[in-house]
Structure 1
Amino acid sequence: MAKAAAPATLRLLTGRSPGRDSGGRKVASGPSFRRVPPTAPEWLSEEAAAEWARVMPELSRLDLVKESDRAALAAYCEAWATFVEATRTVQREGLTIEARQGTLAHPAVAIARNAGREMRSWAAHFGLTPSTEQALARGGGDDGDEENPFAGSG
């Protein structure tokens, strides 16, 4: 699976110096969208709405979301809700079921696995994965060029 390109804001937050990414390359800022946080769709499930409320303050604070990100963020939140529901079903009913063919994996196991993959994919778009969090922590406020023997004069 191909890795999605990180938004310019994330690349700049993890960069070596202003306007440069972690490799020292200039980062094009891209189009200057208005960074107005989207409102949660009314139709989100209860669990998805709770996830929206949990992640939106940080995404907004970092200026990583805009109104047109609403659909992608809703998809992330609903994938989370599906993952939670399937995981709870497995916890309640077990990993396997008895069928005419014998013992089979519970269908909720595959649902949780698929929802988890989808959730991680969407999460990466918003910098919500642990590896992105670590990259942001390392990159915050560090211009790094003084210690970089490979940094050139532009």
Structure 2
Amino acid sequence: MARTAQPAALKLIKGRGEGKDTAGRPVNLGPAFKRVPPNPPSWLSAEAKAEWKRVVPGLSRLDLLKPEDRAALAAYCEAWATFVEATRTVQAEGQVIEARQGKLAHPCVGIARAAGREMRSWAAHFGLTPSTEQALARGADDGDEDDNPFG
């Protein structure tokens, strides 16, 4: 899987010191976007709106959001909503269905799987994956990485 470039704020949180990334290189802060959370689109589904309300406060505290992130964040939230709906359908109806050809995987199994992949992809852009959480926790210390044999 290809690595996605991280926002400067994430690099700095995980970095070694003032303005440095984990390798000690200076972090290019990029354009000076106004760092305020975007407003959610009015057309978000109820589940997507709930996810938006859940993740935006944390991302805002880290200065990761700007109004221009609205589309990407909406795509993440709707992927979550699709994942939830498909998973609930599978829970209610089972993982297999009866068809003329015999037993087949319920279509919502594939829908949930695809939505999960899409959701993880978008989540990585915002630092919402478990591996990013661990990297952020490691970067929250004093920046001393004496245990790193490559440092």
Report if aligned partners of 1:17, 1:145 keep a CA contact under 8 Å in 2. Answer: no
Q: Partner residue of 1:56?
A: 56
Q: Partner residue of 2:144?
A: 144
Quote how far apart the aligned CAs of 1:24 are: 1.6
Equivalent residue letter for 2:108: A
Alignment partners' CA distance in 1, 2:148 and 2:85: 47
SS at match of 1:98: strand
Alignment partners' CA distance in 2, 1:134 and 1:148: 16
Equivalent residue letter for 1:69: D
Residues 1:80 and 2:89 aligned together: no
Residues 1:110 and 2:121 aligned together: no
Q: Partner residue of 2:7?
A: 7
SS at match of 1:143: coil
Report if aligned partners of 1:11, 1:27 keep a CA contact under 8 Å in 2. Answer: yes
TM-score between the two structures when normalised by the length of structure 1 = 0.93
SS at match of 1:5: coil
Alignment partners' CA distance in 2, 1:83 and 1:30: 33
Runs ≥4 in structure 1, deviation > 4 angstroms?
145-151
Q: Partner residue of 1:125?
A: 125
- Stretches of structure 1 that go unaligned for 5 or more consecutive residues are none
Two-structure CA RMSD over aligned residues (Å): 1.6
Alignment partners' CA distance in 1, 2:144 and 2:114: 39
SS at match of 1:97: strand
Alignment partners' CA distance in 2, 1:125 and 1:74: 13
Report if aligned partners of 1:72, 1:122 keep a CA contact under 8 Å in 2. Answer: yes
Report if aligned partners of 1:45, 1:78 keep a CA contact under 8 Å in 2. Answer: yes
TM-score between the two structures when normalised by the length of structure 2 = 0.94
Quote how far apart the aligned CAs of 1:115 are: 0.1
Q: Partner residue of 2:135?
A: 135
Spell out, residue by residue over 1:60-80, the C-alpha distance to the aligned partner (whole angstroms, 9 max, x if none): 010000000000000000000
Alignment partners' CA distance in 1, 2:7 and 2:18: 15
Report if aligned partners of 1:18, 1:143 keep a CA contact under 8 Å in 2. Answer: no
Alignment partners' CA distance in 2, 1:114 and 1:84: 12
Equivalent residue letter for 2:28: A
Identity of aligned residues (%): 72
| Aligned length, in residue pairs | 151
Alignment partners' CA distance in 2, 1:63 and 1:141: 19
Q: Partner residue of 1:34?
A: 34
